[in-house]
Amino acid sequence: MKYVILMGAPGAGKGTQARLLQEALNLPQVASGDLFRHNLKNQTELGRLAQSYMDKGELVPDDVTIAMIRERLSISDCVNGAILDGFPRTLSQAVALDALLAEFNGRICAVPFIRVETDVLVARLLKRAEIEGRADDNEETIQNRMTVYHRQTAPLIDYYREKGVLVEIDGDQPIEQVQQELLHAIECAAE
């Protein structure tokens, strides 16, 4: 089983690219945000557990998030692997993911990192907020998200670079070009 971890800052186009990759590679997109929303909405045991932390204003612990990922990856559509979008976010989650994938006899074949300059990302997110009517996505909030992202993600970039699976992709080009570069990087890594 092969797994692709799609990395990039908010606004880099991970969701769009993950959906395109899903079609091209015939692998499901597993987005951590979608898993949280599904579990919370359906009041699953994991959803109720996550909600208990959120209600106290606390971060959901890694073991709960990992349990959601484990549950999702055990579904039959993931038998050949998956495209992970939004997970892992921290070094401890990356280490836990390695252990989980070993249980599934899977491996990370590529970690494409869609790189976009911060000022371009902020402009993209402000435009998206305007189009989608997201009043809470103002420049201050977006800048804070970028700071948190860079603080959490920098160790992941180094972690996957040392493993030899990180591939940097220029995300400041047309969607189709980014998709071609992603497909090429994944195909080369899978050989």
- pLDDT category, 64, cuts 50, 70, 90? very high
What residue type is 151 in one-letter code?
R
Q: Kindly state which CATH superfamily the domain 2-190 is placed in.
A: P-loop containing nucleotide triphosphate hydrolases (3.40.50.300)
Check if 163 is active-site: no
Q: One of 2, 14, 72, 124 is an active-site residue; which one?
A: 14
Stretch 125-135: mean pLDDT: 84
Q: pLDDT digits over 91-105, tens only?
A: 999 999 999 999 999
What is the structure's pLDDT at 191?
A: 63
Q: One of 19, 70, 115, 145 is an active-site residue; which one?
A: 145
pTM of this structure: 0.89
Q: One of 19, 70, 89, 115 is an active-site residue; which one?
A: 89
Check if 14 is active-site: yes
- d(Cα 28, Cα 82) in Å, to the nearest integer? 5
CB 161 within 8 A of CB 107: no
